[in-house]
A and B are shown apart, each in its own frame.
Chain A
Amino acid sequence: MKITFPYMGTSHIAFKMLVKDLGHEPVVPPKPSKRTLTYGTQYSPEFACLPFKILLGSYLEAIEKGAELVITSGGAGPCRAGYYGVLHQKILQDLGYDTKIMVMESPYRNIFDFLGKIKAVIGPSGVSWWTFIKMFKKAWEKLKVLDETEFLSHQIRPFEVNKGETTKVFNKCLEIIDEAYTLAEILEAREITGKMLNNIPQDRNRRVLKVGIVGEIYVVLEPFANHDIETTLGEMGVLTHRSIYLSDWTRENTGYESTESVIKAASPYIDELFGGHGICSVGHSVLYAKKGFDGVVQLAPFSCIPEIVAKPILAKVTEDHGIPVLTIFLDEQTGKAGLQTRLEAFVDLLAQKRSRLEEIAI
Chain B
Amino acid sequence: MSIKIGIPRALAYYAYFPFWKEFFQELGLEVIVSQATTKQILDNGVKESVTDACVPIKLFHGHVYDLKDKVDYIFVPRIVSVNKEKTVTFCPKFLGLPNMIKSSMTGLPPLLDTRIDLKKGKGELFKVCYRLGRKFHATLFTIIKAYLRGRKAQARYQRLLNKQYTPVEALNLMEGKETPSFDSKQELIFAVLGFPYTVYDKFVNVDIINKLRKLGIKVLTAEMVPPKILLQQAKKVPKNLFWNFGNQVVRAALYYLDNFKVDGIIHVTAFGCGPDAMVDKMIELEAKQRGKVPFMSVTIDEHTGEAGLMTRLEAFVDMLVLRRGLS
Are A and B interaction partners?
yes
Residue of chain A at shortest CB distance from B95: A274
Question: What is the bound-complex CA distance between A78 and B272, given in angstroms?
Answer: 17
Residue in contact with B281 in the complex, picked from A77, A79, A91, CB distance below 8 Å: A91
Which A residues are CB-close (under 8 A) to B275?
A: 80, 305
Which B residues are CB-close (under 8 A) to A270?
A: 96, 99
Q: Is residue A57 within 8 Å, beta carbon to beta carbon, of the partner chain? A: no
Min CB distance, B54 to chain A, in Å? 8
Within 8 A of A (CB), among B29-87: 50, 52-53, 78, 80, 87
Interface digits, A295-310 against B, CB 8 Å rule (1 contact, 0 not)? 0000000011110110
Contact in complex: B103, A79 (CB < 8 Å): no
Residue in contact with B274 in the complex, picked from A47, A82, A90, CB distance below 8 Å: A47
Question: What is the bound-complex CA distance between A297 and B239, given in angstroms?
Answer: 34
Interface range on chain B (Cβ under 8 Å from partner): 35 or more
- Most chain B beta-carbon contacts within 10 A, residue among A76, A83, A94, A270: A83
Q: Is residue B316 within 8 Å, beta carbon to beta carbon, of the partner chain? A: no
Which B residues are CB-close (under 8 A) to A303?
A: 52, 272-274, 277
Q: When A45-B280, A90-B285 are in contact, do A315 and B92 touch as well, CB less than 8 Å?
A: no
Contact in complex: B277, A269 (CB < 8 Å): no
Residue in contact with A313 in the complex, picked from B53, B91, B93, B99, CB distance below 8 Å: B99
Q: Is residue B237 within 8 Å, beta carbon to beta carbon, of the partner chain? A: yes
Within 8 A of A (CB), among B231-264: 237-239, 241-243
Min CB distance, B245 to chain A, in Å? 12
Q: When A94-B285, A303-B272 are in contact, do A312 and B92 touch as well, CB less than 8 Å?
A: no
Q: Is residue A353 within 8 Å, beta carbon to beta carbon, of the partner chain? A: no
Q: When A47-B272, A78-B242, A272-B80 are in contact, do A87 and B278 touch as well, CB less than 8 Å?
A: yes
Question: What is the bound-complex CA distance between A312 and B102, given in angstroms?
Answer: 10
Min CB distance, B116 to chain A, in Å? 12
Count of A interface residues, CB-CB < 8 Å: 41
Question: What is the bound-complex CA distance between A87 and B284, given in angstroms?
Answer: 11
Residue in contact with B96 in the complex, picked from A44, A77, A93, A309, CB distance below 8 Å: A309
Min CB distance, B89 to chain A, in Å? 4
Question: What is the bound-complex CA distance between A347 and B189, given in angstroms?
Answer: 59
Q: Is residue A132 within 8 Å, beta carbon to beta carbon, of the partner chain? A: no
Question: What is the bound-complex CA distance between A312 and B105, given in angstroms?
Answer: 11
Contact in complex: B278, A80 (CB < 8 Å): yes
Min CB distance, A9 to chain B, in Å? 23
Question: What is the bound-complex CA distance between A278 and B78, given in angstroms?
Answer: 16
Which A residues are CB-close (under 8 A) to B289?
A: 94
Contact in complex: B103, A78 (CB < 8 Å): no
Residue of chain A at shortest CB distance from B57: A308
Which B residues are CB-close (under 8 A) to A136?
A: none
Residue in contact with B92 in the complex, picked from A44, A83, A305, CB distance below 8 Å: A305
Which B residues are CB-close (under 8 A) to A93?
A: 285
Question: What is the bound-complex CA distance between A273 and B95, given in angstroms?
Answer: 8
Contact in complex: B80, A90 (CB < 8 Å): no
Contact in complex: A78, B281 (CB < 8 Å): no
Q: Is residue A24 within 8 Å, beta carbon to beta carbon, of the partner chain? A: no
Q: Is residue A204 within 8 Å, beta carbon to beta carbon, of the partner chain? A: no
Q: Is residue B288 within 8 Å, beta carbon to beta carbon, of the partner chain? A: yes
Residue of chain B at shortest CB distance from A94: B285
Question: What is the bound-complex CA distance between A79 and B95, given in angstroms?
Answer: 12
Residue of chain A at shortest CB distance from B50: A312
Q: Is residue A275 within 8 Å, beta carbon to beta carbon, of the partner chain? A: yes
Q: Is residue B90 within 8 Å, beta carbon to beta carbon, of the partner chain? A: yes
Min CB distance, A320 to chain B, in Å? 11
Contact in complex: A309, B100 (CB < 8 Å): yes
Q: Is residue A311 within 8 Å, beta carbon to beta carbon, of the partner chain? A: yes
Question: What is the bound-complex CA distance between A311 and B99, given in angstroms?
Answer: 11
Residue of chain A at shortest CB distance from B275: A80
Q: Is residue A28 within 8 Å, beta carbon to beta carbon, of the partner chain? A: no
Q: Is residue B162 within 8 Å, beta carbon to beta carbon, of the partner chain? A: no
Counting from the closest, the 7 A-B pairs by CB-CB distance are A77-B242, A47-B277, A309-B96, A78-B242, A274-B95, A274-B92, A45-B277
Can you list 10 A-B contacts with CB-CB less than 8 angstroms, sorted by A residue number?
A76-B87, A86-B239, A87-B282, A90-B282, A269-B99, A272-B99, A272-B115, A273-B95, A303-B277, A308-B52
